Amino acid sequence: MLSGFGGNFAQEYVQRCRALLQMGKMMRSIAKKLTLLSATLLLVACVTTNSVTGRSQFITIPASQDAALGLEAMNEVKKTAPVVTKGAMAERIKRIGERIAAISDRPDLDWEFVVIDEPVLNAWALPGGKVAVYAKMAESFPSDDELAAVMGHEIAHAVLRHGAEQMSRAQMQNLLILGAGVAVGVATEDEQNTQMAIGLASLATAGFVQLPHSRKMELEADHVGAIYMAKAGYDPRGAVRLWQHMKTLKEGAQQPTFLSTHPSDDNRIARLEGRMDEYLTYYQK
């Protein structure tokens, strides 16, 4: 009796252990599939076609929210940075910016053009049409054609919704990275492996997704910006002179392109020169 009881218990115990192991495998498989399914559904639902370029974009932020996001961000900038909206430099930036924005594909945006009085060689655009140019950038280019290339580039960023696209991609990448870490953690039951997986996924994402795509958007803004400036009556050859001049203004050697969110100046110049005939047709019209 005792032997028989012991034998039945052992067999049942082994069967239960096998069932638990099988359930664990199923749960790990389900976790991976749910992570992949969620990411896939989100990706499919948020892929749109840009009406200007025809390129597919992954954007989770509704276009109706662009203006609110841009305005909120600009208000924060005004609280902390020396923003200038009056004077000769501010008027020049506003004049060139409004002239280009008027012929862009989104003249209806709530455009705002300001100067930030800091010795920085930079300019940026926020969602919804908020554009800032730093004083050093404006001072470095006395030619309106060259400064128009800067303004056209930033206006193109806003029109093409590059800011919303970058934010959306960052959200998606964070979800995928977290999902990869969770999947590894569930599979190995090891927190250290989870952290390592998240770290490696983050590195791979930055090197092979984020940076190259940022460079693609920069070149896209160069191209569309050159068309805009030409349509507005500014010589598009000023865009080539802009980047030639930028090469001489930058301090120190440029980091390799594959580690930068921006293409090399030589790459930008070559691309602009390669399509200059097209830009000049808009300028002549």
For residue 211, which of 177, 179, 169 has the smallest C-alpha distance? 169
- Summarize pLDDT for 159-200 with one digit per residue, the tens: 999 888 888 777 666 665 555 555 545 455 555 554 554 454
- Mean pLDDT, rounded, for 260-269: 83
Instruction: For residue 48, list its beta bridge partners.
Output: 57
pTM score, whole prediction: 0.73
Whether the Cβ atoms of residue 68 and residue 127 lie closer than 8 Å to each other = no
d(CA 226, CA 105): 13
The yes-or-no verdict on residue 31 having pLDDT over 50 is: no
Whether the Cβ atoms of residue 97 and residue 130 lie closer than 8 Å to each other = no
Whether the Cβ atoms of residue 228 and residue 149 lie closer than 8 Å to each other = no
Query: What is the length of the chain?
Result: 285
Which 3-state string (H, E, C) describes 102-134? HHCCCCCCCCEEEEECCCCCCEEEECCCEEEEE
Which active-site residues does the annotation give? Answer: 154
Neighbours of 52 (CB within 10 A): 16
Pairwise pLDDT comparison (104 vs 33), residue with the higher score: 104
- Summarize pLDDT for 97-120 with one digit per residue, the tens: 999 999 999 999 999 999 999 998
How far the first Cα of the chain sits from its last, in Å, is: 103
**pLDDT classification of 34: cutoffs 50, 70, 90:** very low
Whether the Cβ atoms of residue 180 and residue 36 lie closer than 8 Å to each other = no
User: For the chain, what are the domain ranges?
Assistant: 63-164+211-284
**DSSP helix/strand/coil, 75:** helix
For residue 212, which of 150, 256, 274 has the smallest C-alpha distance? 256
Pairwise pLDDT comparison (238 vs 184), residue with the higher score: 238
